[in-house]
Amino acid sequence: MDKKTPLVEMKNIHLSFGGIKAVDDVSVDLYPGEVVGLLGHNGAGKSTLIKVLSGAYQADSGEIYVDGEQATINNPRDARAYNIETIYQTLALADNLDAASNLFLGREIVNQFGLVDDDAMEAETRRIMGRLNPNFDNFSSPVAALSGGQRQSVAITRAVYFNARILIMDEPTAALGPQETEMVAELINQLKADGIGIFLISHDIHDVMDLCDRISVMKNGKLVGTENVTDVTDDEILSMIILGKKPGQAA
Amino acid sequence: MNKSIKNFVAAIGIDLRLVGMVGALVALWVVFDLFTGGRFLTPRNLFNLSVQTASVAVMATGMVFVIVTRHIDLSVGALLGFIGMIMGTLQVHILPQYLGLGHWSIWIITIFAGVSLGAVVGAFQGWIIGYLMVPAFIVTLGGLLVWRGAAWWVTQGQTVAPVDTTFRLLGGGSEGTLGDTLSWTFGVLATVAALVMMIQSRRRRAKHGFTPKPLWAEYSLGGIATFIIMGFVIVMNAYPLPKGAVKRYAAARDMEIPAEGLFISHGIAIPVVILLLVGVAMTFVAKRTRFGRYVFATGGNPDAAELSGINTRMLTVKVFALMGALTAIASVIASARLGSVGNDLGVLDELRVIAAAVIGGTALSGGIGTIHGAIIGAVIMQSLQSGMAMVGVDAPLQSIVVGVVLVLAVLVDITYRRRAGL
């Protein structure tokens, strides 16, 4: 895996908000078919870092490479053009619209007159949902009326439908029951097999140990370190998160 | 509500809130009819009601988009007055100098100038809101003062009259109507269009393999649509021109007036035709264009819209530009109806427009609202006002009632929405 070009490389990213260094000289990378876990406390800067990649924030300095080529990502549209898709912790759904409208938001299917084709979008949504979450059956209600798991399905489907190559998942299982969490885990493994690279932001150390290949730990805006999951123990990861201490360092 | 009615409504796929609104309107009409001894539900009064509603209803359709995107526009009444003054001056004092009085193109140039001005002013206000981040409430409150003052300045406070004769028809006086033949044509065309759209929609959904609505539901819906359109045409055609207008009508056509008098129908008023076209166009924009989709998405969750790559700032500019253009159209109707433009044109209209949109189910929290709801809201507002005036309710009590109804309508809407889990 190490010999290939990374799918994404974020190099020396800096981003401050009014004097507070939210992200301070952080570099991470991601290879095809790999899941990299981003860990850290609330406010460690992991969500901010990832929003730089998804185009929601612009870095003060630093470079992003996609497939080894330098990429310019100034807004979410740019990120989508690089096949970078994001599932936000808040899901970022328009609650007043139905599943199909949310799935295609910003990328509507239009007919030959440039008018949105709701029927075609609903048909596509039914088709893809039939594969990803066969229990999903509510295509006409606003997503506000759906359960947490169903809403999550809509957000996940939106990310994978448009041929994502780089997927960012921000706490994808935080609001889910055990059964739905299992479904997300299955999906991640399936996407991995398809060669998609995934950044997984999570609090749950078990999620991370089960699903991730590598972990990058952040604390106070800085990168503590990046390790292969097989090389470290739970305790070592915890001490990276809590103490900001790399494994092998003297206490 | 009765369970079988509920099931019926659900099966034919009409929004329950729409049924409630229409029900409230019909109840209101019946009550006023009883209290006025049958003077309310007459072709004459319904015709007047339709004409009086048109100007506010046209603006209410635009206000839906503004409120859905979580903004507000308090400047529409003042802007209506300002644009009215500009259009009045243009057609009364300026254009006749160059083209000659009564030239055929005066009304067209006037309207074109007015609508362009409205769109530019709206876009400017939208730019301050979207790009400079000043809250819409403040920008348009400023606009209310600015445009009302600017309107005075155009003519130093003088009333401009009389407006161009063709322009005047757009206000719907006794000549500004379609007449019976054209009204029938309009009604038949509208019915055919509605039915064709229903059939096409059914075919499209069948093509994608969706479970279709039961046929009886489609027939009921088609029947209701036909009944409403044709009923409206029949009522408008049942209102004859008054004697003076009949004399002018006969004289213009070299006709003899028989001893028993001549029954010439008003038919649908032209401002109402304008309103219906605006309503259809705005519904189309809301439902079938990306712009409309983004308006609702942005209102539902601005962050999500932004993260989906929607340029929400530019969207704000467009929404307010559209509001400005619709205000200009409303200004055409209002000034044409009066035949003159005075300083008080459009005073307090912003409140009527916002009330109409809100009574029609537009939520100030954003994301929710319909064009047809806002138009029905405008009809309810106007019915209340004319009804109470006909019954002889004192003016102060009238405004108290309208105020209470506004709050109650929103309370009912919020309660319904909470129950439905939306």
Q: What is the pLDDT of residues A57-86, one digit of tens each?
A: 999 999 999 998 999 999 998 999 999 999
* Average pLDDT value for residue range B223-232: 94
Distance from CA of B157 to the nearest CA of A (A): 46
Q: Which two tokens stand for residue B272?
A: 């109402």
Distances (CA, A) of A40 to A219, B393, B406: 6, 68, 51
Per-residue model confidence as pLDDT tens digits over B73-85: 999 999 999 999 9
- pLDDT for residue A249: 64
Helix (H, G, I), strand (E, B) or coil at A37: strand
Q: For chain A, what is the mean pLDDT?
A: 88
* Average pLDDT value for residue range A219-223: 90
Q: pLDDT exceeding 70 applies to what percent of chain B?
A: 97
A131 and A194 inside one domain: no
Residue of A nearest to B421 (CA): A145
Pair type for strands A214-219 and A35-39: parallel
Q: Which two tokens stand for residue B218?
A: 């489609």
- pLDDT for residue A177: 77
Distance from CA of B422 to the nearest CA of A (A): 6
Q: Is residue A116 part of a domain?
A: yes
Distance from CA of A39 to the nearest CA of B (A): 23
B406/B387 Cα distance (integer angstroms):
16
Contacts 24+ apart (CB under 8 A), A45-48: A45/A218, A45/A220, A45/A221, A45/A222, A46/A201, A46/A218, A47/A89, A47/A170, A47/A201, A48/A15, A48/A22, A48/A23
When mean pLDDT is compared over A123-137, A228-242, B112-126, B388-402, the highest value belongs to: B112-126
B210–A120: do the CB atoms touch at under 8 Å? no
A105–B306: do the CB atoms touch at under 8 Å? no
Which residue, of A129, A162, A195, is where some domain finishes?
A: A162
A123–B300: do the CB atoms touch at under 8 Å? no
Whether A54 contacts A98, CB under 8 Å:
no
Distance from CA of B267 to the nearest CA of A (A): 34
List the single best residue of B210, B307, B362 to mutate versus A (max A Cβ within 10 A). B307
Contacts of A122 in chain B (CB under 8 A): 208, 210
As to burial, measured by CB atoms within 10 angstroms (0-12 exposed, 13-18 middle, 19+ buried), residue A126 is middle
B299–A145: do the CB atoms touch at under 8 Å? no
Helix (H, G, I), strand (E, B) or coil at A87: strand
The pLDDT-based confidence of B178 (bands split at 50, 70, 90) is: very high
A3 and A76 inside one domain: yes
- pLDDT for residue B416: 81
The closest CB to that of A96, out of B209, B306, B368, belongs to B368
CA dihedral sign, ordered A139, A142, A144, A145 = negative
Query: Edge-to-edge, what's the strand order for the sheet holding A69-71?
Result: A20-30, A8-17, A61-66, A69-71
Q: What pairs with residue A226 in β-bridges?
A: A216
Q: Is residue A133 part of a domain?
A: yes
A105–B293: do the CB atoms touch at under 8 Å? yes
Which residue, of A102, A133, A162, is where some domain finishes?
A: A162
Q: Is residue A66 part of a domain?
A: yes
B362/B69 Cα distance (integer angstroms):
11
Helix (H, G, I), strand (E, B) or coil at A248: coil
B6/B16 Cα distance (integer angstroms):
8
Contacts of A76 in chain B (CB under 8 A): 306-309
A4 and A75 inside one domain: yes
Q: Is the pLDDT of residue B150 over 80?
A: yes
* Average pLDDT value for residue range B269-298: 96
A2/B377 Cα distance (integer angstroms):
65
A11 and A56 inside one domain: yes
**CB crowding B118-156: b at 16 or more within 10 Å, else e:** bbebbbbbbbbbbeeeeebeebbbebbebbbebbeebbe
The closest CB to that of B303, out of A92, A106, A142, belongs to A92
CA dihedral sign, ordered B150, B151, B153, B157 = negative
- pLDDT for residue A242: 85
B307–A88: do the CB atoms touch at under 8 Å? yes
A35 and A104 inside one domain: no
A25 and A149 inside one domain: no
A5/A67 Cα distance (integer angstroms):
6
The pLDDT-based confidence of A244 (bands split at 50, 70, 90) is: confident
Distance from CA of A168 to the nearest CA of B (A): 13
The closest CB to that of A92, out of B298, B304, B422, belongs to B304
Contacts of A114 in chain B (CB under 8 A): 289-290
Distance from CA of B360 to the nearest CA of A (A): 17
Q: pLDDT exceeding 90 applies to what percent of chain A?
A: 47
B308–A110: do the CB atoms touch at under 8 Å? no
Residue of B nearest to A124 (CA): B208
Contacts of B305 in chain A (CB under 8 A): 94, 105-106
* Average pLDDT value for residue range B7-15: 72
Q: Which two tokens stand for residue B339?
A: 């035949």
How many contacts, defined by CB atoms under 8 Å, are there between A and B? 84
Check residues B256 and B21 and name the one with the higher pLDDT: B21
- pLDDT for residue A179: 79
- pLDDT for residue A1: 45
CA atoms within 13 A on the CB side of A39: 30
A141/A236 Cα distance (integer angstroms):
46
Q: State the Cα angle at B84 between B83 and B85, rounded to 5°.
A: 90
A94–B301: do the CB atoms touch at under 8 Å? yes
The pLDDT-based confidence of B248 (bands split at 50, 70, 90) is: confident
The pLDDT-based confidence of A3 (bands split at 50, 70, 90) is: low
Whether B117 contacts B331, CB under 8 Å:
no
Whether B172 contacts B337, CB under 8 Å:
yes
Number of domains in chain A: 2
Q: Is residue A178 part of a domain?
A: no
| CB-based contact, A96 to chain B, within 8 Å | yes
A114: alpha, beta or left, given left = phi > 0 and alpha = psi -120 to 50? left
Q: How far is CA B45 from the centre of its chain?
A: 18
A101–B293: do the CB atoms touch at under 8 Å? yes
Contacts of A91 in chain B (CB under 8 A): 304
Q: Is the pLDDT of residue B111 over 80?
A: yes
Check residues B114 and A227 and name the one with the higher pLDDT: B114
DSSP at A176: -
B309–A75: do the CB atoms touch at under 8 Å? yes
Q: Is residue A117 part of a domain?
A: yes
Helix axes B3-12, B16-35, angle to 10 degrees: 120
A145 and A188 inside one domain: no
* Average pLDDT value for residue range B187-194: 95
Q: Is the pLDDT of residue A108 over 90?
A: yes
* Average pLDDT value for residue range B236-257: 86
Q: Is the pLDDT of residue B391 over 50?
A: yes
The pLDDT-based confidence of B208 (bands split at 50, 70, 90) is: confident
Helix H segments across B13-105? 16-35, 43-68, 76-89, 95-99
Q: Is residue A136 part of a domain?
A: yes
| CB-based contact, A90 to chain B, within 8 Å | yes
B333/B295 Cα distance (integer angstroms):
27
Q: For chain B, what is the mean pLDDT?
A: 92
Q: State the Cα angle at B143 between B139 and B149, rounded to 5°.
A: 155
The closest CB to that of A94, out of B288, B300, B309, belongs to B300
- pLDDT for residue B16: 80
A141 and A250 inside one domain: no
Q: Is residue A43 part of a domain?
A: yes
The closest CB to that of B304, out of A93, A123, A142, belongs to A93
Give the domain extent around A52. Answer: 1-83+164-171+183-251
User: Of B283, B276, B410, B302, which is closest to residue B366 (Cα–Cα)?
Assistant: B302
A100 and A211 inside one domain: no
- pLDDT for residue A117: 93
A78 and A188 inside one domain: yes
Least confident of A63-67, A209-213, B187-191, B371-375: A209-213
Q: Is residue A177 part of a domain?
A: no
B308–A105: do the CB atoms touch at under 8 Å? yes
A71 and A118 inside one domain: no
CATH of residue A58's domain is 3.40.50.300
The closest CB to that of A116, out of B288, B307, B367, belongs to B288
A69 and A100 inside one domain: no
The closest CB to that of A97, out of B289, B296, B310, belongs to B296
The pLDDT-based confidence of A180 (bands split at 50, 70, 90) is: confident
Least confident of A148-152, B43-47, B299-303: A148-152
